[in-house]
A and B are shown apart, each in its own frame.
Chain A
Amino acid sequence: GAVVSQHPSWVICKSGTSVKIECRSLDFQATTMFWYRQFPKQSLMLMATSNEGSKATYEQGVEKDKFLINHASLTLSTLTVTSAHPEDSSFYICSALDRPNTEAFFGQGTRLTVV
């Protein structure tokens, strides 16, 4: 299957700083990527849909100014958590579709800890 690479796998940052997470499709072009957040023992919550060359579509309740998404090319989407606080500590996962109506391939996930 297609490969989606997410970096970094884990990151620890100080409260108030910003953290950038990258999601790359390695062997296919992804016009659409999705960003999820997962708290311990809970399911994946969709945060936003990232579209190449246009603004991201955010789910209700997700602050677009806090979670900046940039989909600059067909193989790269980035999520920047700005002014991170301890409550932002979570597991962030991206996924991408290589073609419409096919399975979504997931990145490895990023464990963010804000101290």
Chain B
Amino acid sequence: GQNIDQPTEMTATEGAIVQINCTYQTSGFNGLFWYQQHAGEAPTFLSYNVLDGLEEKGRFSSFLSRSKGYSYLLLKELQMKDSASYLCAVRGTGGYNKLIFGAGTRLAVHP
């Protein structure tokens, strides 16, 4: 079966650093994605990990450990506009490269 877990909600302070964790158990693994979604809008791509290690892209970094079925998204220098839902998604090895999404983590950034 497919199971992707991430915290439901998190809060953080402007300028701080926050780490959003994601654990997964899927039938096959072909990459893990992080998306940002503001209310009422479609998700926007943040990062993609297929090999173990850290991928850094500006204020956002994503880490993957395939042996542990674990990933995290790290947001630095938080800004108010970072308040959004963050979705962890896993691509399986079945046909069509479909993405299965976790429930999402709603992040609230306070002044």
Contacts and interface: CB of A to CB of B under 8 A. Distances in A.
Given A93-B42, A108-B41, A43 B103 contact: yes
A108 B40 contact: no
B44 A106 contact: yes
Q: How large is the interface on B (under 10, 10 to 19, 20 to 34, 35 or more residues)?
A: 20 to 34
B69 interface: no
Nearest to B99: A104
Interface stretch (A12-20, A44-52, A62-70, A76-84): A44-52
Contacts, number: 58
* Most interface-central of A1, A57, A93, A103 (chain B CB within 10 A): A103
Nearest to A111: B40
Per DSSP, chain A at the interface is strand
Given A101-B31, A103-B33, A103-B48, A44 B96 contact: no
B97 interface: yes
A100 interface: yes
Contacts of A101: 30-31, 50, 91, 97
A1 B97 contact: no
Contacts of A93: 42-43
Contacts of B98: 34, 46, 49
B43 A44 contact: yes
Contacts of A34: 96, 98-99
A32 interface: yes
Interface string B72-111: 0000000000000001000100011111111110100000
A71 to B, nearest CB: 12
Given A42-B103, A43-B102, A108 B87 contact: no
